[in-house]
Structure formats: C-alpha cells, structure tokens
C-alpha cells in the first residue's frame, strides 16, 4: 500500500462572506501540500476552492441565526487517497435529492451551486448532524489505494 498523506483541518469562521477567500485559500494550500500522485493538483485546488465557496455561501445564507458572530465550521480531510470536505450549518436543512439539475440551455442568475459540487466532486451528501446539518463532498484522489 502506498504511504499516503493524512491531513485533517478544522476551521471555524464567522458567519460572514468576507471569509470565503480565507477558506478557499486554505483549501488550495491543503491540496498543494499533498504528495505528487500524478493527478492535476492545480485543477483539484481550484475545484475544492470553488465547491467549498459554494457550500459556505449556502450555509451562511440559510443559517437560522444570521448574526455575524455565529461561527460556521468547515473541515477538510485527506486520508487513504480520499478527499473529504464538510461544511456544517445550523439552518432548517433541505433535501438535496430534490434539488433539480439546472437547465443550462436557459441561463439563470442563480441555482448552480449544488450543480457545480455534483459536477466537480465524486459524491455530495447532505444530512443531519447533531443540532444542525452537514454538507459532505468527497473525491477520490489519483492513484489512491482501492476504497
């Protein structure tokens, strides 16, 4: 079995969109810190930045308590060749299976966040977690050991 990186990062940021850049930058640094596995880390860093930005905006916009002092938790882990990013929220929650695939032939201003997550990651789940919810996005890294 390959000797793979194990990275776990947990971040809490205030419930404010000005922290999107910070989270995006941390996400990219995590990917750049990985061993060279033959994959396109530049593209993966961009994709993780993007899906975490989209997920964090969802968490901020749908929080029940919108006070900017509230904290939003983001976690990023890489283990056994598996990248997992989670964004925790304290909103009312939603059924991700009911989010329709957008009609890309009829452009709209909104409605692409979940679509981008599903397009760029291997698996996207949204479920109850403790007193809130968690959006979990997973991607298998190149050359990782079998799941």
Partner 1 sequence: MNISIKSIDGRKILSLLEERLDSACSARFRDTIVDLLEEDGQPLIVDLSAVGFMDSSGLGALFIAKKMARQRSASFVLVGLQPRVLVMLDLSRMTDLFEVFPSIEDALAKI
Q: E-assigned strands of the chain?
A: 7-14, 71-79, 82-89, 123-129, 132-140
Q: Among the candidate windows 53-61, 65-73, 76-84, 87-95, which touches partner 1 by CB under 8 A?
A: 53-61
Do the bridges between strand 82-89 and strand 71-79 make them parallel or antiparallel, or are there none, so unpaired?
Answer: antiparallel
Nearest CA-CA partner of 68 in 58, 77, 76, 60: 60
Query: Shortest gap between Cβ of 78 and partner 1 (angstroms)?
Result: 21
Query: Shortest gap between Cβ of 3 and partner 1 (angstroms)?
Result: 31
Is 11 one of the binding residues for partner 1 (CB under 8 A)? no
- Rounded to whole angstroms, how far apart are CA atoms 60 and 113? 13
Is 26 one of the binding residues for partner 1 (CB under 8 A)? no
Residue 69 or 108 with smaller CB distance to partner 1:
108
Cα 133 from chain centre: 13
Q: Among the candidate windows 30-38, 85-93, 116-124, 128-136, which touches partner 1 by CB under 8 A?
A: 116-124
Tell me phi and psi for residue 61, to 5 degrees: -75, -25
- Rounded to whole angstroms, how far apart are CA atoms 6 and 81? 9
- Kindly write out the interface string for residues 125-144 of this chain, putting x where it contacts partner 1 by CB under 8 A and - elsewhere: --------------------
Which one of 9, 57, 63, 84 is in contact with partner 1 (CB under 8 A)? 57
Q: Work out the burial of residue 56: count CB atoms within 10 Å of its CB; fewer than 13 is exposed, 13-18 middle, 19 or more buried.
A: buried
Is 3 one of the binding residues for partner 1 (CB under 8 A)? no
Per CB under 8 A, residues contacting partner 1 are 17-18, 20-21, 24, 46, 49-50, 53-54, 57, 104-105, 107-110, 112-113, 116, 119-120
């Amino acid at each position: 079995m390959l000797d793979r990186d194990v990275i776990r990062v947990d971040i809490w940021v205030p419930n404010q969109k000005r922290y999107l850049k910070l989270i995006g930058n941390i996400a990219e640094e995590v990917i750049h810190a990985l061993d060279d596995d033959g994959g396109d880390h530049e593209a993966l860093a961009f994709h993780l930045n993007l899906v975490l930005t989209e997920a964090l905006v969802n968490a901020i916009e749908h929080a029940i308590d919108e006070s900017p002092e509230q904290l939003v938790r983001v976690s990023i882990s890489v283990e056994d060749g598996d990248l997992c990013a989670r964004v925790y929220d304290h909103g009312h929650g939603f059924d991700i299976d009911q989010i329709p695939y957008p009609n890309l032939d009829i452009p709209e201003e909104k409605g692409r966040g979940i679509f981008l997550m599903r397009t760029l990651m291997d698996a996207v789940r949204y479920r109850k977690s403790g007193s809130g919810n968690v959006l979990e996005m997973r991607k298998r890294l190149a050359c990782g050991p079998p799941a």
